[in-house]
Structure 1
């Protein structure tokens, strides 16, 4: 048995304990990588090697399709691309959907990634 474990403590006493509040301060400064994915495409290496300045790569999405917001490689939300107010040289996204954890798992299983 683990040291300090009191096997004499009745189960009812454990249920009477107040719930433990997680200390989120511990994780708030952990850096994560966030990406906004406009779309994707598949092409042979030979075509990739021919790309140069001004080349256009056709993506698998339409202009009106939402973009995916990915955090550490997982889609967490979707949104629309916007030009930032007072900054005509920068883009942002307006979130339109938060992706549920169940959708993460279903997408990972269907793509073969885990």
Structure 2
């Protein structure tokens, strides 16, 4: 798995271990983006219960996984019983996300 991991040639000092321990305790908000859409404001204002918003995503497309609003990975939707989860498939390309790419 990619991320903040590192390989250290020598043991970490007490201060460094304490810092790493504090970082590991930080909560990160995770969001999953299924797709995007652009609508005229008039259409948005007319929407009510049951309205359908078309997305730029096909059924088998990967979703974007964001950590604190930053793209970190791509994934696939999985449904097990009544639970929905995301299986991470690969690292995200930030430039693709900003361009609205797949």
Tell me the TM-score normalised to structure 2 length: 0.72
The runs of 5 or more residues in structure 1 that have no matched partner are: 1-17
Aligned with residue 74 of structure 1, among 52, 70, 73: 70
1:28 offset after TM fit, Å?
A: 1.4
Structure 1 runs (4+) greater than 6 angstroms displaced: none
Between the two proteins, the alignment pairs up a number of residues equal to 86
1:98 aligns with 2:85: no
Aligned equivalents of 2:79 and 2:23: distance in 1?
A: 31
1:58 aligns with 2:54: yes
TM-superposition CA deviations, 1:30-76 (whole Å, max 9, x none): 12111010001011221111111111110011111100000011110
CA RMSD in angstroms comes to 2.1
Aligned equivalents of 1:95 and 1:80: distance in 2?
A: 7
Q: Which has the higher strand share?
A: 2
Aligned equivalents of 1:41 and 1:57: distance in 2?
A: 7
Tell me the TM-score normalised to structure 1 length: 0.65
The runs of 5 or more residues in structure 2 that have no matched partner are: 1-8
